[in-house]
Amino acid sequence: MDALKLISQDSLKEEVPAVEIGDTVKVAVRIREGEKSRIQNFEGTVIARKGSGVSETFTVRRVSYGVGVERVFPIHSPNVESVQVVRHGRVRRSKLYYLRDRVGKAAKVKEQIR
């Protein structure tokens, strides 16, 4: 078991992005297309965080052309270039799955004044 922990600690990032549930974030993801690679931004609301250690992930949701799109990003993945917090949300739940059923202004998260 200790060997697994040693291997997983090498894969951890030094600076973990400080994302919290309800925050609107802009995630820069490296995408490989054949031999070329580019960075694509995905902006949305963080609706969940799961796991711990190397397998820790966070789920970002946005509505694109009237269709809800969710992506799960591993926090320690080398393909996640950066995570920038656009605005802080004020929520009282650890998982915001109820936003999937909401439409329009009801799907908004209130902003937290800091």
Distance CA 61, CA 47 (A): 7
**pLDDT tens profile 31-69:** 999 999 999 999 999 999 999 878 889 999 999 998 999
Distance CA 61, CA 112 (A): 19
Q: Compute the mean pLDDT over every residue in the chain, rounded to the nearest whole number.
A: 89
pTM of the predicted structure, to 2 decimals: 0.85
pLDDT, position 93: 92
pLDDT, position 105: 87
pLDDT, position 108: 86
Decide: helix, strand or coil at residue 41.
strand
CATH architecture designation of domain 2-107: Roll (2.30)
β-sheet with 57-64: strand ranges across: 67-74, 57-64, 36-50, 24-33, 80-87
Distance CA 81, CA 29 (A): 6
Domain boundaries, the chain: 2-107
